[in-house]
């Protein structure tokens, strides 16, 4: 199985172009299944269980063992990893039949994404006070996240050459290495200009070209975890009782656009969603807005 997993990893990386994060998770899931097969073989006093001998009953036993200590979402991902692996094995003729063909992926409960109100966003962004390098950087991070709705991985991957200050757009590399162009507002651009000037003074290098936009205190490219800490820090400082990371500002961006009348297809393009069904999660509205629309529209309200 080791060799086949290595071949599958190459296929995912080179042909499917999956992200390093996804690849790491899938390989971890496949190793976990491999460990299950080894334990099962010992229990049944067999030398090993070959992949062609894996049955639907064995897969169900594995899923049952996972249910004791994993959430439904985690089980769903592990099952997706197995399904992809076995489809690959059948297509490459390493095995004759797919033991997962009749096993459906458990339906996931999709909670509404957390988001901030417009007032809370202004409290958050207005609370970043000061002129130190890191404070100026943090202000630019928060303004850019809310102004563009980019993923945190896309934000940390930004170089100065990806920002067009004249046109008010940025170029980001999203999932599957897909490039897209996203508008960015003037307030965020001004925050980036100020940060670029501070960065050039501190590190003695021009804020342009392939130089990373957001740096840590040592002058290296900032990490996604550090950006999450920035968001958490200023939410707490603003007294906003919401627990969220950078993705929460992405949800906020999409929700505010939708509530402001933006077309769902436009939001899909801005967010870089491959499927419109992913974007449709943002079609929730808050109760105040719903009541206001009802009061205006219903003759007997």
Q: Mind listing the domains of the chain with CATH numbers?
A: 2-91 (1.10.150), 118-292 (1.10.443.10)
- 113 with 149: CB under 8 angstroms? no
Higher pLDDT, 202 or 68: 202
Q: Is 151 a catalytic residue?
A: yes
- pLDDT at residue number 301: 58
Q: Is 250 a catalytic residue?
A: yes
User: Which tokens go with 228?
Assistant: 């999450």
What are the two backbone dihedrals, phi and then psi, of residue 215, each rounded to the nearest 5 degrees? -115, 155
Which helix (H) or strand (E) covers residue 182, if one does? Answer: strand 179-183
| Per-residue pLDDT tens digits for 45-63 | 777 888 888 888 889 888 8
Give the confidence band of 278 by pLDDT, cuts at 50, 70, 90.
confident
- CA–CA gap between residue 234 and residue 237 (Å, rounded): 5
Catalytic residue among 137, 151, 251, 256: 151
Report the candidate in 36, 85, 81 with the shortest Cα–Cα distance to residue 62. Answer: 36
- pLDDT at residue number 112: 62
From edge to edge, which strands make up the β-sheet containing 163-164?
163-164, 169-173, 179-183
Range with the largest mean pLDDT of 31-35, 187-191, 204-208, 209-213: 187-191
SS3 content of the chain, % helix, strand, coil (to 5): 60, 5, 35
| Per-residue pLDDT tens digits for 144-163 | 999 999 999 999 999 999 99
| Per-residue pLDDT tens digits for 12-29 | 988 888 888 889 999 999
Catalytic residue among 78, 250, 251, 256: 250
Q: Full-prediction pTM beyond 0.85?
A: no
């Amino acid at each position: 199985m080791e060799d086949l997993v290595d071949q599958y990893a190459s296929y995912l990386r080179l042909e499917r172009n999956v992200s390093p994060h996804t690849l790491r998770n899938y390989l971890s899931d496949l190793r976990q299944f491999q460990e299950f097969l080894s334990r099962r073989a010992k229990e049944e006093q067999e030398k090993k269980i070959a992949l062609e001998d894996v049955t639907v009953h064995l897969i169900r036993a594995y899923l049952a063992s996972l249910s004791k200590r994993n959430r439904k979402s985690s089980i769903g991902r592990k099952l997706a990893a197995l399904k992809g692996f076995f489809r690959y094995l059948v297509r490459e003729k390493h095995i004759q039949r797919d033991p997962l063909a009749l096993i459906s992926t458990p339906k996931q409960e999709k909670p509404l994404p957390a988001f901030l109100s417009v007032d809370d966003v202004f409290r958050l962004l207005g609370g970043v006070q000061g002129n130190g390098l890191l404070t100026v950087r943090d202000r630019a991070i928060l303004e850019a996240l809310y102004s563009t709705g980019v993923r945190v991985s896309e934000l940390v991957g930004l170089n100065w050459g990806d920002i067009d200050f004249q046109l008010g757009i940025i170029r980001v590399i999203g999932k599957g290495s897909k490039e897209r162009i996203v508008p960015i507002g003037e307030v965020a651009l001004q925050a980036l200009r100020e940060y670029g000037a501070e960065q050039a003074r501190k590190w003695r290098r021009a804020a342009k070209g392939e130089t990373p936009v957001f740096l840590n205190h040592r002058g290296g490219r900032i990490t996604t975890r550090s950006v999450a800490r920035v968001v958490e820090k200023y939410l707490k400082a603003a007294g906003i009782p919401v627990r969220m990371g950078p993705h929460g500002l992405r949800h906020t961006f999409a929700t505010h656009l939708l509530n402001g009348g933006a077309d769902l297809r436009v939001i899909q393009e801005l967010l870089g969603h491959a499927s419109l069904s992913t974007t449709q999660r943002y079609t929730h509205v808050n109760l105040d807005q719903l009541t206001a629309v009802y009061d205006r529209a219903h003759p007997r309200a």
